[in-house]
């Protein structure tokens, strides 16, 4: 009788559709999905990523015992109380996007006090921005997705939106947007620091063990090379979007 290898155990994570970082429609569940999958394989596991609206993903990933955690989050003091953070599995660069015929180019966040800004509910944009939004120094209007915010920006319902830079390029590259749409959008990219993102393992004894095993395995995976290769492969399938 032929011997069959046993199926590896599964590490299950909750997230939302957030291309090019996470998506059912992209190879390996997107860039960050690919990085997490590579580390899980090194651990002897298979990674499974399930998709929900973001707030639901947080609830399920952190409370449902069928899940290991949520992927992938920026680390902050509030979230430290909710989960055990892995080592970095990539980074995010937030930018302020605007229409070029009505540019928004502040030197600092404080200069945005009179600007109505589109955000996504439940997202963190950095401690300074989050605090200014929470205290009403900045006027923000949360939506359920970056896609909706981009449409509102193009329709002039927002003066500016905050969005991850590669996410913006990916969205604008879609066929539903015209070259004229792409040409209308500009960005201010010096207001937000580049931030690492992490897997957020459940705040349990098992979650701590999984986080420690994940970090140990990640040392043996060249995540930077995998990220470079992923972008190259994406370019081979679809022309790389032009920077806005």
Q: Which residues are CB-contacts of 197 (< 8 A; sequence separation ≥ 6)?
A: 32, 72, 73, 74, 88, 89, 90, 91, 92
Q: E-strand spans in the chain?
A: 10-15, 46-51, 69-74, 83-92, 94-99, 116-120, 139-143, 160-164, 185-188, 195-202
Query: What pLDDT is recorded for position 5?
Result: 62
Long-range contact set of residues 175-184: C-beta below 8 Å, sequence gap at least 24: 181/154, 182/241, 182/242, 182/244, 183/100, 184/99, 184/100, 184/101, 184/154
Number of Cβ within a 10 Å radius of residue 190: 12
Query: In the predicted model, is pLDDT for residue 241 greater than 90?
Result: no
The segment(s) of the chain belonging to CATH 3.40.190.10 are 10-91+195-237, 94-188
Euclidean distance between CA atoms 94 and 111, whole angstroms: 17
Q: Which residues are CB-contacts of 203 (< 8 A; sequence separation ≥ 6)?
A: 62, 81, 82, 83, 84
Q: What is the pLDDT of residues 36-82, one digit of tens each?
A: 999 999 999 999 999 998 889 999 999 999 999 999 999 888 889 99
Q: What is the pLDDT of residues 26-45, one digit of tens each?
A: 999 999 999 999 999 999 99
Sign of torsion over alpha carbons 23, 220, 197, 92: negative
Query: What pLDDT is recorded for position 158?
Result: 94
Query: In the predicted model, is pLDDT for residue 172 greater than 90?
Result: yes
Could you tell me which of 92, 18, 91 has the C-alpha nearest to residue 54? 18
DSSP conformational letter for 157? S
Confidence of residue 4 (pLDDT cuts 50, 70, 90): low
Query: What pLDDT is recorded for position 190?
Result: 95
What is the radius of gyration, based on Cα positions, of the chain? 19
Domain 10-91+195-237 CATH class label: alpha beta
Domain 94-188 coded CATH 3.40.190.10: yes
Instruction: Dig out the tokens for 108 from the structure.
Output: 């600092």
Kindly report the CA angle at 65 between 18 and 74, in degrees rounded to 5? 35
Q: What is the largest CA-CA distance in the chain?
A: 74
Query: What pLDDT is recorded for position 230?
Result: 92
Confidence of residue 244 (pLDDT cuts 50, 70, 90): very low
* pTM, rounded to two decimals: 0.81
Euclidean distance between CA atoms 209 and 181, whole angstroms: 48
Average pLDDT over residues 203-220: 97
Tell how far CA 51 is from the center of its chain.
Answer: 13
Query: What pLDDT is recorded for position 217?
Result: 98
Query: What pLDDT is recorded for position 200?
Result: 97
Query: Mean pLDDT score of the chain, rounded to an integer?
Result: 92
Euclidean distance between CA atoms 135 and 122, whole angstroms: 16
Query: What pLDDT is recorded for position 235?
Result: 66
Confidence of residue 233 (pLDDT cuts 50, 70, 90): confident
Instruction: Dig out the tokens for 33 from the structure.
Output: 């999905």
């Amino acid at each position: 009788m032929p011997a069959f290898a046993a199926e590896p155990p599964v590490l299950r994570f909750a997230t939302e559709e957030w291309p090019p970082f996470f998506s059912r429609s992209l190879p390996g569940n997107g860039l960050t999905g690919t990085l997490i999958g590579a580390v899980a394989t090194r651990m002897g596991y298979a990674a499974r990523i399930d998709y929900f609206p973001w707030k639901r993903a947080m609830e399920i990933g952190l409370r449902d015992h069928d899940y290991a955690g949520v992927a992938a989050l920026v680390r902050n003091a509030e979230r430290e109380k909710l989960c055990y953070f892995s080592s970095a599995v990539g980074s995010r660069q937030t930018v302020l996007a605007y229409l070029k015929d009505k540019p928004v180019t502040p030197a600092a966040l404080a200069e945005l006090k009179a600007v109505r800004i589109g955000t996504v509910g439940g997202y963190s944009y950095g401690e300074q921005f989050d605090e200014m939004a929470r205290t009403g120094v900045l006027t923000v209007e949360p939506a359920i997705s970056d896609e909706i915010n981009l449409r509102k920006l193009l329709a002039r319902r927002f003066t500016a939106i905050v969005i991850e830079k590669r996410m913006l390029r990916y969205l604008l590259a879609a066929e539903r947007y015209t070259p004229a749409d792409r040409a209308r959008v500009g960005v201010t990219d010096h207001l937000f620091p580049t931030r690492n993102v992490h897997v957020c393992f459940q705040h349990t004894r098992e979650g701590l063990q999984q986080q420690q095993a994940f970090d140990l395995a990640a040392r043996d995976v060249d995540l930077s090379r995998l990220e470079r290769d992923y972008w190259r492969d994406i370019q081979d399938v679809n022309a790389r979007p032009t920077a806005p």
